[in-house]
Chains A and B, each alone.
Chain A
């Protein structure tokens, strides 16, 4: 037990020291402590595993934030899992949630872009968009070709966001579009929590009662 405590203290120390903007953590010390406790709690029951795996993480997202889209949940896991080891360690957990819940707009844009960039090549291509938007239209019985609608949506997105007209979205395209129209932050599907879910979660981990 004591070793665990020491371990936690070490991580807290490390995280709270990171003050630089890009990789800084938005949580306070006691919040990190709560988050780590929560992390441990989720690991309970499976003794031989030390880190959160994909399935458990998806459960957490589903339970805590009501996110349902399997593909996107997978992408969110990828975005959290910075070292690509298919597990989320304590560090990744805290840093991921920091953006997820309290991130600056710029961080969120980066996060979302990462989520949508399925093949991690730094661009969101037509195909990726099609993949992401595949299920966003409810099939109408009258529609001749359901795919036509999706393709149309993709074209609309490109028209709106592809500022350099190269038929794909670069990060800068994406960032500029969001700057112009904040609604486009989650353009290709929900990958951030709803504000009220966010507040709920923050209430869980902070001692002080927030004003909401």
Chain B
């Protein structure tokens, strides 16, 4: 019973005196009724239990009077007591105590007497139960002792009690003592009673749960929805509209939580008040409470503007149900559904108007159209009506029918919106993928992961199977059912088929040949293994065969074979692994079965130079095959790590000295795959592999050249590597490779290497000498995007030097670069914007860019979803504004441009923020533009950013603030927005550039006295004093100016005080 009282019963929140009161709700009433019935019927059902004496009396204020007590009671002073007393301490079983003149409290010691009390109370008995439960929140504990108190969570007291009893029974059985016996009896009774109480508790909970679940809490949104619909259905036409009006009552203010009721009423759960005027009755005032809709007492005449909030009648779950009860007319209308949807008409009218406007010059036509439209509408309305009728049969609640009308529409548009949103998401993802692709490109060569989703292709019918199929089937039969000799003959014959042909490959698989071939690998027959591997090596070029081999567990066996003594066998196994490990799962399998270690072991062969004996030749072959397999495996990150741990790097370095191309290609291929890992890049540099890579750039084999260039591309992220490339003379062959315009892969690798190498200024020098710019500009046309990204990246790096910028212009590179700004490849856009930005540093270049409308294109890229593109576009805009003629006018001419750039200050990316701040600093040079961006709220947005710790952002932010101070009362505004104190902290930064721009900003801000005070409080003077001593004149001046302003304020202050 305790649980039900604690959880289900509704207590008033304000606790008057000793405890809370039970609210007067239906739920509580039901609970009380049930408790009462239980108590009343208890004595009859369980006479013994009902006589059990409570541990402590249940006491409560009662409405009983001494005169009510009849039979078996005697007076004792002012109190009445029962003649029956408890057997233990002789306290009376019932005591009626006089507390005050007309107040009595009753104490009861057993359920029997509870029952008596109820009987005596007559029709007041419900009040007695209520009083009892209010005074004793946990009756169980009082009745049976504290051990049965209701507790949160698991309550296993009853089980412990049972244990105790059984123990005692056992004990008493041993002792056969009389006293123990009675004790046990009593405990048994207690247990029974407790079980009864528990059962009651459960019943109560169940019942209340049923009630609670049937109550749905209202929310402001649902109320709004319902009122909206009713509003659409209301009007003055009695035949068509079901309500005259339906309005919110009150001043119409909507709070942030969606409620319209006054805050103090919201405490009671009120959401809003609705004033409904049905056609047949008076105005109904409805309270929308979180517990449901109910009628209140209407406008309070005594207090104008207030309602009498007292609840009248029941709560309803829907406003419509309430109204149906109140207004028979409404109910009738709703059931008949003879009403028109006002909103629809409204919409129609609107549309007609719009159309009329559009086709204003052709009235005749428009009228026709509108008529058509009306007809159309009418038919649809008819349809709607039909629909409604069919639905009426299905659904009984009118509120649901609404959904068929207004709600459905409303929801559909919602859905549409969602669909649109969903559509947008993938498109964004798509646009993002190129960047990912670029990342993966720089990380690992473009291995098609589509391989993962290779589609099964199989001829549907057996009718047109080629003859090879049947021959292969026959051979597989011999493989299965022959001894070693037959197997070898069959294997050799199978090799006579064209195994590069897909029909043969799939035929082998389809007739179950793969299983046999893989099983052969597990035998002891070396010749069979060799023969099988020779076939597997060939057919594993097929994607589906690879998967099948992996599925059949072939990789595990092949990895085992790598330990074999026979070198031919090792070679073949490694080559087959190289073919199979082209997809991720296979690579993982190889790693998990220790294949990487074994493959690295294969690399360890005798020195490659010097006299070659046939034996050594075979060792070299083994190493080559190992490198081939590692190349395939090195596409997975974990494999790279495993290779490094297995000591692959020094072995690869040694093999790189080889002169054989067929050895070098897999080795360099592996290296360039692994170079995506910084640890490998370091090792490649320190093991002296750059020299060999450069040497092989001059190789005659384009594939080898490609892999070398690609390896350098990846390694040249580091400065030392770039220097080494130059020192070994690698820049010349790289530039020479630019002439290979047919081989796009090679071109992409070479241009990538040039791009990365050009990051070092010494390299730029060399590229200048080699006239790389002309060649690169030539590659800006008709190249695939992979090449373009690198070419433009290289130009961007090279354009950091002034002569190169001129050279690009002279070579005619500006216009293709600007044209590329219209592209969609994100990686390309990042590089193009960078390059254009660099070029714009030159006045003459800027003229061309301006003529080609490049700034507008850059500006439009600010709208790109990719933050990298946004940032690099914003960076590029800075020099454009600096160097363009009439920059202010140009910027203003971009419609919505200034608003756009200010709105980017909301970005979450530091780089975007820094770049936009820099751009704003430039824009703010023009006073008119400064005025516009001030109107767009640049000041608070900048101020909001001031708490950053990023030095780059700080520098440009301070610069932007300094510039923005020059308009109106922006200085004051910055002070008000709390931008000053954080700026002072910037002076503690270690970056000189931050100091300079911050000092400038502080100088500007210090022109307003309030700011001076804030600065001074923030301790600005000391760091500024130091900066006055700086060697940077700019910084000196700004710092001194700021101190000057602060000092002047102080002097003026003193003067004012003394005068």
Chain A positions near chain B (C-beta within 8 angstroms): 133, 135-138, 140, 149, 152-153, 156-157, 159-160, 181, 183-184, 186-190, 194-195, 212
Contact = CB atoms under 8 A, between A and B. Distances in A.
Given A183-B527, A183-B531, A187-B488, A138 B496 contact: no
5 A-B pairs with least C-beta separation? A136-B486, A136-B485, A138-B481, A156-B493, A136-B483
B467 to A, nearest CB: 15
B488 A186 contact: yes
20 contacts: A135-B483, A136-B483, A136-B486, A137-B482, A137-B483, A137-B486, A138-B481, A140-B477, A152-B478, A153-B478, A153-B489, A157-B489, A160-B496, A184-B492, A186-B485, A186-B488, A186-B527, A194-B524, A194-B526, A195-B566
A189 B565 CA distance: 24
Given A183-B491, A195-B526, 7 more contacts: A137-B486, A153-B478, A156-B489, A159-B493, A160-B493, A160-B496, A181-B492
B474 interface: yes
Interface residues of B, number: 24
Contacts of B527: 183, 186
Interface in B987-1016: none
A186 B490 CA distance: 13
A211 B482 CA distance: 35
A183 B531 CA distance: 7
Max chain A C-beta neighbours (<10 A), residue from B474, B486, B566: B486
Interface of B is mostly: helix
B484 interface: yes
A138 B486 CA distance: 10
Contacts of B490: 156
B530 interface: yes
A152 B524 CA distance: 27
A194 to B, nearest CB: 8
A183 B485 CA distance: 10
A12 to B, nearest CB: 29
Contacts of A140: 477, 481
Contacts of B482: 136-138
A150 B493 CA distance: 14
Contacts of A186: 485, 488, 527
Contacts of A135: 483
Contacts of A160: 489, 492-493, 496
Contacts of B531: 183
B492 A183 contact: yes
A156 B490 CA distance: 8
Contact of A190 (B484, B495, B565): B484
Contacts of A183: 488, 491-492, 527, 530-531
A104 B490 CA distance: 26
Contacts of A212: 565
Interface string B454-487: 0000000000000000000010011001111110
A133 B483 CA distance: 10
A160 B494 CA distance: 11
A135 B495 CA distance: 23
A183 B478 CA distance: 17
Interface in B520-572: 524, 526-527, 530-531, 565-566
Contacts of A159: 493
Nearest to B496: A160
Contacts of A136: 482-483, 485-486
Max chain A C-beta neighbours (<10 A), residue from B477, B483, B489, B491: B489
Nearest to B487: A136
A119 to B, nearest CB: 20
B492 A137 contact: no
A181 B490 CA distance: 13
Contact of A187 (B474, B485, B530, B565): B485
B486 A133 contact: yes
A190 B485 contact: yes
A184 B527 CA distance: 9
Nearest to A156: B493
B493 A138 contact: no
A212 B566 CA distance: 12
Nearest to B493: A156
B478 A184 contact: no
Max chain A C-beta neighbours (<10 A), residue from B485, B486, B488: B485
Nearest to A139: B481
Nearest to B524: A194
A188 B474 contact: no
Nearest to A155: B493
B468 to A, nearest CB: 14
A137 B486 CA distance: 7
A138 B483 CA distance: 7
A47 B481 CA distance: 46
Max chain A C-beta neighbours (<10 A), residue from B478, B488, B526, B565: B488
A195 B488 CA distance: 17
A152 B474 contact: yes
Nearest to A180: B492
B491 A188 contact: no
Contacts of B483: 135-138
B574 to A, nearest CB: 19
Contacts of B524: 194
A102 to B, nearest CB: 15
B485 A149 contact: no
A170 B934 CA distance: 101
A137 B481 contact: yes
Contacts of B493: 156, 159-160
Contacts of A190: 484-485
A36 B656 CA distance: 51
Contacts of A195: 526, 565-566
Contacts of A189: 485
Interface in B490-507: 490-493, 495-496
B481 A187 contact: no
Contacts of A184: 488, 492
Nearest to B565: A212
A157 B496 CA distance: 12
Given A160-B496, A189-B485, A195-B566, A137 B530 contact: no
A133 to B, nearest CB: 7
Given A138-B482, A152-B474, A195-B526, A187 B489 contact: yes
Contacts of B565: 195, 212
A188 B492 contact: no
Contact of B486 (A153, A181, A194): A153
A197 to B, nearest CB: 11
A133 B484 CA distance: 11
A133 B485 contact: yes
Contacts of B485: 133, 136, 186-190
A184 B477 CA distance: 20
A200 to B, nearest CB: 14
A99 to B, nearest CB: 19
Nearest to B530: A183
A138 B485 CA distance: 12
Nearest to A157: B489
Nearest to B525: A194
B616 to A, nearest CB: 16
Given A136-B483, A188-B485, A195-B566, A149 B492 contact: no
A184 B486 CA distance: 11
Contacts of B496: 160
A91 B486 CA distance: 34
Interface in B422-480: 474, 477-478
B521 to A, nearest CB: 15
B489 to A, nearest CB: 6
Interface in B563-600: 565-566
A189 B485 CA distance: 5
Nearest to B488: A183
B31 to A, nearest CB: 82
Contacts of B489: 133, 153, 156-157, 160, 187
Contacts of A138: 481-483
A61 B455 CA distance: 54
Contacts of B495: 181
